[in-house]
Structure 1
Amino acid sequence: MSEKTKKITYWFFTLWLSLGMVSTAIVQLIKLPEEVEKINQLGYPTYFLTLLGVWKLFGVIAVLVPKLVLLKEWAYAGFFFAMSGAAFSHIACGHAFGEIFPSLLLLSLTLISWYLRPEHRRTNT
C-alpha cells in the first residue's frame, strides 16, 4: 500500500470512528430513554452514560488533533476497552447480534485507525 493510499485510508476510518464516537456520546449525554433502558439492562447505572459520553468526546479530540501522541494511544486504548466491554456486555446479556454489531463496528474502526496511523502519530517506544 502506498503512503498516499495508507494516509487516505487512515483518515477515512478515523473520521468514521470519530463520527461514531461523537454520535454515540451525544446520545449518551442527552440520556435518551432507550439508552437509559439499555444501559440499565446491561447492569450499569445511568450515570455511566455521562462518563462514557464525556470520555468519548475527549477521546475523539485526542485522536484528531495534531501532536499529543501519548494521549492518542490512551484514547485508542479507551475506545478499545469501551467497545470490547460493550460487545461483551451485550453478549453476556444474551442480546441479538443487532445489539452487539454497533460495538463491534466501532471496535473494528478503532483497531483499523490505530493500525494505520501515520508515523508522526505514533509513540517512539
Structure 2
Amino acid sequence: MKLNPLVSQLALSDIANTPGVAADVSHVNSRAEVAGYVGEEQLEKALEGCDLVIIPAGVPRKPGMSRDDLFNINAGIVKGLCSAIAKYCPTALVNMISNPVNSTVAIAAEVFKKAGTYDEKSCLA
C-alpha cells in the first residue's frame, strides 16, 4: 500500500509494536505518509477519514486448531474492528483477509447491517 501512487496517507493499527512498524514502512520511497496507532484507544484516530480499510487481524490457525476454534477467536476481533469502521469511517471500502474469510466476511456484513452502513452495491462476494 505504501507504494501505491493513489495512497497519500497510510494508518497502521495493531495491539502492539505498531509505531516501530510504521517507522520502518515510512522509509519506503513514496509520497504516502505513515502513522502507527496502538490499541483500541487509538482506533478512532487510525480510522477517521479512511477510504480503504484492510483487515488482516486475528490469529493464524495453529496445528490441531479447528476452523471453529479459529472462527471463535477471529470473529470477535473482526466484529470489534467492523463496529469501529461503521462508526469512524462508514463509507470506507473494507478488504477482509482475516481467516476463516468466508465466515468473517459474514460477521462484518452483519455488523454493518446493524449499524446501517452496509452497502450491498459495493459488496463483492
User: Is TM > 0.5 for Structure 1 vs Structure 2?
Assistant: no
* Structure with greater proportional helix content: 1
TM-score (norm 1): 0.33
Superposition TM-score, scaled by structure 2 size: 0.33
| Bigger RCO (CA 8 Å, 6+ sep) | 1
